[in-house]
Amino acid sequence: MKDDDRRVGVWFVGARGSVATTAVVGALAIRAGLAEPVGLVTETPDFSDLDLPSLDQLVFGGHDIAQTPLAKRAEELADAGVMPRDVVTAIRDELVGVEGRLRVGAAPGDRRPQGEAAAELASDIAHFTEENRLDRVVVVNVSSTEPPVAARPAHDSLPALELALKTEADVLPTSSLYAYAALRAGASFVDFTPSTGMRLPALAELADANALPYAGRDGKTGQTLLRTALAPMFTSRALRVLSWSGANLLGGGDGATLADPEAAASKTASKQRGLSAMLGQEVAGATHIDYVADMGEWKTAWDHVRFEGFLGTRMTMQVTWQGCDSTLAAPLVLDLVRLTACAHEAGARGDLASLGFFFKDPLGGEHRLAEQYARLKDWAGGL
């Protein structure tokens, strides 16, 4: 029997961004019968036996430092072809309702000890939980990608971290500060970006101490999705991949962030590592990420794979993927929220490695899409 009185909070870090806006609009549209649940894995028959929180039971809120109202962002996205204008108009009032639950996030350049900022963020989440009488809250980081961060001793143990937070202003990268605040507020956490977030031993310790689950890292929405479907084909057919090269053209906020060479370097290195893991060998080739303003919310990925078959003959595969990033990401965010909340309810704690299906950089190292899906189904069956 499904629990019909549950109320689950979804707290976005980056609540006014394209992904969060699309997720909110989509959830509201589907529950109003204005859209079909296309793209929602948790609405497919394989997950129908699971006692997941329904879309009706989700309550949205979040942090952001941007000021554009959510309804305005939704209209901008409609103009960019990401969602139908009519749907945005129809749910305008509900968007205004969500707007009332958004709070100003962690300000860059804040020179106070980070413990103070963390306390404020945690207090926002706690207030959200109480005021909306929520059974539990999932915090999801969908804010812009950070550059890679240098390791510090304070990252390695919870006591060291707590001590540093009391006096220093730059202990944690912002994504990890939010993760810390979430755990402190009793919320589970989903790392939807490649930023550091939960990936610090001190935070794993805290999650364990507070018996909270978390999932991550970096939503798998485009080129990597394709690669994890295609690379196993070569492996299972004993074809030797010689090089896997690629280009990514993207506009939007993420595009500008990733055009930063340091952030791009971190993202591309992670891509090549995943490929090598699946192919069981080092594979040559580079993948570029270019910011092309006119692409807006759209993303084009080109892949060029050279491989060797029987008797050394060389062949080629090329793929072009033209996707809308927010459209692809938003339903995964909702899937992750529902599954993480359900796991939390079931008593899971620590990293939810079985959710690797959703991530570019999963814990546990299984990158192959079909295997990840099989594992997800098994895990869901066991909940």
| Nearest distance in Å: CB 372, a second copy | 9
Q: Is 119 in the site for a second copy (CB under 8 A)?
A: no
The CB density around residue 111, as the number of other CB atoms within 10 Å, is 6
Which strand (E) or helix (H) includes residue 298? strand 298-308
Q: Which stretch binds a second copy (CB under 8 A): 51-59, 91-99, 185-193, 321-329?
A: 321-329
Nearest CA among 38, 19, 373, 357 for reference residue 220:
357
Q: Is beta strand 298-308 parallel, antiparallel or unpaired with respect to 314-324? A: antiparallel
Q: Is 105 in the site for a second copy (CB under 8 A)?
A: no
Which strand (E) or helix (H) includes residue 95? helix 92-99
| Nearest distance in Å: CB 36, a second copy | 8
Q: Is 35 in the site for a second copy (CB under 8 A)?
A: yes
* Encoded tokens for 224: 């990597």
Question: Between residues 67 and 313, which has the closer beta carbon with respect to a second copy?
Answer: 313
| Nearest distance in Å: CB 234, a second copy | 9
Determine contact, residues 278/270, Cβ cutoff 8 Å: no
Q: How far is the C-alpha of 175 from the C-alpha of 168, rounded, in Å?
A: 16
Question: Between residues 22 and 266, which has the closer beta carbon with respect to a second copy?
Answer: 22
From 211, 262, 314, 346, residue interacting with a second copy (rule: CB under 8 A): 314
Map the footprint of a second copy across residues 247-266, applying CB under 8 A. 247, 249
Q: How many residues does the chain have?
A: 383
Binding mask 328-347 for a second copy (x = CB under 8 A): x-xx----------------
CA gyration radius, the chain? 21
Q: Is 28 in the site for a second copy (CB under 8 A)?
A: no
From 18, 22, 176, 224, residue interacting with a second copy (rule: CB under 8 A): 22
Tokens 């806006």 appear where?
21
Tokens 């060797």 appear where?
308
From 17, 213, 219, 323, residue interacting with a second copy (rule: CB under 8 A): 323
Q: How far is the C-alpha of 285 from the C-alpha of 218, rounded, in Å?
A: 22
From 236, 262, 269, 281, residue interacting with a second copy (rule: CB under 8 A): 236
Map the footprint of a second copy across residues 267-286, applying CB under 8 A. 284-286
Q: How far is the C-alpha of 318 from the C-alpha of 285, rounded, in Å?
A: 14
* Encoded tokens for 62: 């979040």
Q: Is 304 in the site for a second copy (CB under 8 A)?
A: yes
Phi, psi of 125 (to 5 degrees): -70, -40
| Nearest distance in Å: CB 178, a second copy | 24
Q: Is 373 in the site for a second copy (CB under 8 A)?
A: yes
Count of residues in contact with a second copy, rule CB under 8 A: 78
Q: Which stretch binds a second copy (CB under 8 A): 120-128, 157-165, 190-198, 295-303?
A: 295-303
Question: Between residues 44 and 68, which has the closer beta carbon with respect to a second copy?
Answer: 44
Q: Is 89 in the site for a second copy (CB under 8 A)?
A: no
Q: Is 381 in the site for a second copy (CB under 8 A)?
A: no
State whether the Cα torsion 234-283-372-330 is positive or negative. Answer: negative
Map the footprint of a second copy across residues 203-232, applying CB under 8 A. 225-226, 229-230, 232
Determine contact, residues 228/372, Cβ cutoff 8 Å: yes
Map the footprint of a second copy across residues 68-87, applying CB under 8 A. 79, 81-85, 87
Q: How far is the C-alpha of 138 from the C-alpha of 213, rounded, in Å?
A: 10
Phi, psi of 139 (to 5 degrees): -95, 130
From 26, 61, 62, 213, residue interacting with a second copy (rule: CB under 8 A): 26
Question: Between residues 91 and 165, which has the closer beta carbon with respect to a second copy?
Answer: 91
Q: Is 355 in the site for a second copy (CB under 8 A)?
A: no
Determine contact, residues 270/194, Cβ cutoff 8 Å: yes
From 90, 204, 242, 256, residue interacting with a second copy (rule: CB under 8 A): 242
Q: How far is the C-alpha of 190 from the C-alpha of 340, rounded, in Å?
A: 8
